[in-house]
Copies of this chain bind each other. A is one copy, B any other.
């Protein structure tokens, strides 16, 4: 192995589902070494106290979150914290030279006024925000490769934007007709004890939530607007599904050209994602199942055109915790480090 050296990596906020996915994926990544786990409420515990099944594999303690110390030990830091906390830590890490991948909403918005409107947090880290890149590699690969700080997309926006992007980028649809009806497993809600996420409540049931006002809406709109070249408003409705993992976004929009057929759309999407190893466009007549993506960093996209209504229907399926969270962050890291975009990431789902 000669003078091979693994890149030292840390995770702040290791106790949640984002954290445990990062731990698992980073331990199997050939170029990095996990050297630091941090958390406020769980500081002092071992990681095995939180996830006993990993006790044999991860013998790192959860440490307190001291940015200088973290920057001293880590070249790369993943921030997996609730919205509104990363912005307190990231500027210091960036200043100290760390590469930072933030999984929260804090660095997803180029316009901080939008962030403050939807998240209710005032910000004073304008200069850091100005250098942050939105971490959706399929759209911003080159900018991510040169970024020092990346704001990784939310799970719903990832599924939604991968379905919507070719439509907006190519100007294929009437913009104001775009509707995203999204469905997610309950792990989207995190590892927090809430009554509505109990198995006894959420199993064998299905419910919409935050209708017309989910915080992922402005994030989707920001990117669609960027692609369209003008302001775009999106109808976004999330639903809680009685399953652990997986998101399906069903997207509806009216085509500008009513003559386009399904196979045209498949050709367009295939071309759009030609260089994207994690995007799989389904064959004609095949629709994605969330289970296909579970455990992998893949996004499956199915397409349909309804000649009766003139609409395109795009269906995209991801694992909300991998491509929708931890896997995508590592995909960004790969780009930032100049590694292959697929390095260390699971390529096949764990079906069934």
- Which A residues are within 8 Å of any B CB, using their own CB? 17, 20, 24, 27-28, 51-57, 176-177, 179, 181, 183, 185-187, 189, 191-195, 197-209, 211-212, 233, 235, 237, 239, 241-246, 248, 250, 252, 280, 282-283, 286-295, 298, 300, 302, 304-306, 308-309, 311, 313, 315, 317, 347-352
In the bound complex, do residue B235 and residue A252 qualify as a contact, i.e. CB atoms below 8 Å apart?
yes
Closest to A209 in B: B287
In the bound complex, do residue B205 and residue A246 qualify as a contact, i.e. CB atoms below 8 Å apart?
yes
CA distance A287 to B206 in the complex (A): 11
In the A-B complex, list the 10 residue pairs whose CB atoms are closest, starting with the nearest: A53-B292, A205-B291, A193-B193, A207-B289, A181-B181, A212-B306, A187-B200, A199-B199, A199-B202, A204-B243
CA distance A20 to B187 in the complex (A): 26
A288 touching B204 in the complex, CB below 8 Å, given contacts A242-B243, A250-B237: no
18 further interface pairs, Cβ-Cβ under 8 Å (given A176-B309, A191-B352): A20-B352, A27-B348, A28-B348, A54-B348, A57-B348, A181-B252, A199-B199, A201-B291, A203-B243, A204-B204, A204-B245, A206-B290, A207-B289, A211-B287, A212-B308, A235-B309, A235-B313, A295-B295
